[in-house]
Structure 1
Amino acid sequence: MAGNSKRRGAMRKEGTKKGMVVGSGGQRRRALKGKGPTPPAEMRPGHPAARRATAAGRAGANFGGKPGAAANRRRPGDGDAPETVLGRNPVVECLRAGVPATALHVAVGTTGDERVAEAVQLAADAGISILEVPRGDLDRISGGALHQGVALQVPPYSYAHPDELLEAAAESGEPGLIVALDGVTDPRNLGAVVRSVGAFGGHGVVVPQRRAAGMTAVAWRTSAGTAARLPVARATNLTRTLREYATAGYMVAGLDTEGSVTLDDFELATGPLVLVIGSEGKGISRLVKQTCDVTVSIPMAGPVESLNASVAAGVVLADVARQRRLG
């Protein structure tokens, strides 16, 4: 066949075969180079995840904690949207509690009462931006909800890694004390638990990533500022995290109305301990209960069958602190 230098009767001479042509990809030194593996979403310019990561970096590591390790070890799914607190009383309460915020929005023409004046003064003292905006813009920010002319923008909380709680306990030189919440969906309960853990010498709180309350402005306000000093970690899989804590030498004790031991007989509280607390209605889940080394019940003197999650946490933590003082 004419043109094929390897067949009889070919017209082309040896060595005149065409080289690489446009679109062939090239050969050897002139070959096209691969771009390598696809980078993570947060490292791709223009990707929504990259924009969220940049915004989170500008906003700070968390509401009031350390910007170092926690920011470098964020758990997947921690990039919650910023929160907007609406209404004069809620805004003032958040500012009084020291909830970190990025901006205070005040509608043009808002009647200035003592609550609005206090909100503006507290925001100014805390270095929070005060923006006077048209009422229509505030309506859009609030999604049409009642705002009474004021709104407080709060950045998303950046959770610690569960391993950081182990590190905090090791650095303290005391037996570790961690509280894990399973299925607690009320942010006020979360805030109250954080406050109790801080009061009784705990080293942190762990919450599940899904189907659980997060560190919202309400939780921060209920903690009365303790959330600024105590790390809160978010676990992608609470059961796996509890197993890792057990491997690290922690006793995992679940609070249950039908516990295998009562709080009066719980003598292992002086060692490294993870206290697991479930919701008031359902308690701790089956898988989490199976992960626990022991289940503990609170002896009741009256007809009440169960306690609110935050109240139960306070009772047990107070007794653990008492045992550790005596032991």
Structure 2
Amino acid sequence: MADVNRPGAIRKKKRAPLKGSGGKGRRSLEGKGPTPRAEDRPYHKAHKAKKLAERQQRSAGPARQQRLGGKRTSEELVTGRNAVLEALRTDIPAKHIFVMANLEQDERIREILTTVTRRNIPALEITRGEIERLTEGAVHQGVALQVPPYKYPDAGDMTASVLEKWHAGSLSKPPLFVALDGITDPRNLGAIIRSVSAFSGHAVIVPERRAAGVTASAWKTSAGAVSRVPVAKASNLNRVIDQLKDQGVFVVGLAGDGDVALPDLNLATEPLCIVVGSEGKGLSRLVAEKCDQIVSIPIDSAMESLNASMAAGIALYEVSRLRSQASS
């Protein structure tokens, strides 16, 4: 047996590690934990995009919060290149325009950007994920226009103001209003507003509940006429009709079974309010009872009824024609 106490002998008092490096590389073997998300890595382009979006969100303030994780407001979005371009061409009021980052531009996008620059509409560049959340699944084609809520005047105050101008001799034609009873499609509302503007009407009256309002769709369909014809809200349409009658305005309702045919309307030259009912139910019972006359539009017997906006347009044209005929 070797003498371990002899001079020069190797004394091994520590046991050798059983495996590996003896724990020297334990820290390196533990690693650095899970890989951070791309948007949390400062050197990654997703992180830069996230920071840019945060800065734009802060600059947009509450307007941008309406759908980007914040509370929903009554503001609406016009989406799609054609729709946004048409809206801008008709001078629809706009609060912001959202454009997807790295969007491939065509003639429509270039005209959109030129128009918003000329009108000083703030343009915000956002990511694809943000614009998809913003538009909630609608076809956006990389662009969305934010439309602010329409400010409705009170129906009673507005009609009284028009009648005051009439009595003061400030109007060349008698007051002409259109009241809507049960119209829920904003496109019908927009088309009616357009007809009212075309035939020198003074205002459109809509009920406060269960009725279409001035939305982005109504703005588009009106071809910008909403900026020329006020749309007033009535908390109670029957009460507003009573007020109009007390102020000397004749109220006529449109219905297929009217007792007066439109060409025989002898009230056309008087201050007038035309009431248009819904396509399905027509005029409500109380509104029909309050009308001075129920007027029908002669149509082919094979046709069941006319579209509400078409009926309103025909009636307004006939009133305009009768007024022009009477003044000549």
- Same fold by TM (over 0.5)? yes
Residue identity opposite 1:89 in structure 2: N
The answer to whether the 8 A contact 1:165-1:231 is kept is no
Q: Is the 8 A contact 1:176 1:272 kept in 2?
A: yes
Judged with a 3 Å threshold, the aligned counterparts in structure 2 of structure 1 residues 144 and 321 are, in CA distance, closer, same or farther, namely closer
**In structure 1, what is the equivalent of residue 159 of structure 2?**
165
The residue number in structure 1 matching 2:12 is: none
Which secondary structure does the structure 2 equivalent of 1:324 belong to? helix
The 5-angstrom pairing of residues 1-327 of structure 1 reads: 81-162=74-155, 163-171=157-165, 172-173=170-171, 174-301=173-300, 303-327=302-326
Paired amino acid for 2:95: T
Shift of the alpha carbon at 1:169?
Answer: 4.2
**Separation (CA, whole Å) in 2 of partners of 1:254 and 1:211:** 19
1:131-178, CA deviations, whole angstroms, 9 ceiling, x for partnerless residues? 112223223322343322111111000112112133124324332110
CA deviation after TM superposition for structure 1 residue 264, in Å: 2.2
How does the TM-score come out when normalised to structure 2? 0.72
For the residues of structure 1 that align with 2:316 and 2:160, how far apart are their CA atoms?
A: 18
Letter in 2 for 1:142: T
Find the aligned partners of 1:226 and 1:165 in 2 and give their Cα distance.
18
Aligned equivalents of 1:246, 1:278: Cα separation in 2: 19
Separation in structure 1 between the aligned mates of residue 139 and residue 298 of structure 2, nearest angstrom: 45
2:78 maps to amino acid: V
Q: Measure, in 1, the Cα distance between the counterparts of 2:139 and 2:204.
A: 33
In 1, the alpha carbon distance for the partners of 2:137 and 2:260 equals 52
Q: Secondary structure at the match of 1:121?
A: helix
SS in structure 2 at match of 1:268: coil
Change (3 A) 1:268 1:145: closer
Name the stretch that deviates more: 151-160 or 133-142.
133-142
Q: CA deviation at 1:287?
A: 1.5
Which ranges in structure 2 are unaligned for 5 or more consecutive residues? 1-61, 64-72
Secondary structure of the 2:276 match is strand
* Count of residue correspondences: 250
Letter in 1 for 2:283: I
Q: Deviations over 1:66-115 (max 9, x none)?
A: xxxxxxxxxxxxxx711111222211111112111011111112222222
Match of 1:14 in 2: none
Instruction: Output the amino acid matched with 1:100.
Output: P
CA–CA separation in structure 1 for the residues paired with 2:160 and 2:193: 17
Q: After the TM superposition, which segments of 4 or more aligned residues of structure 1 sit over 4 Å from their partners? A: none
| Structure 2 CA distance for partners of 1:192 and 1:291, relative to 1, 3 Å | same
Decide which moves more: 135-144 or 283-292.
135-144
Deviations for 1:262-295, whole angstroms, at most 9, x for unmatched residues?
1122111111111000122211111111111110
Task: Kindly provide the CA deviation profile for residues 45-74 of structure 1, in whole angstroms up to 9, marking residues without a partner as x.
Answer: xxxxxxxxxx99xxxxxxxxxxxxxxxxxx
| Pair 145,188 (structure 1): closer, same or farther in 2 beyond 3 Å | closer
How far residue 182 of structure 1 moved from its aligned partner, in angstroms, is 0.9
User: Secondary structure of the residue that 1:181 maps to in structure 2?
Assistant: strand
Whether the 8 Å contact between 1:170 and 1:176 is mirrored in structure 2 is no
Partner of 1:11: none
- Which amino acid is the alignment partner of residue 314 of structure 2? V
RMSD: 1.8
Distance 1:210 1:120 in 2: 37
Alignment gaps of 5+ in structure 1: 1-54, 57-79
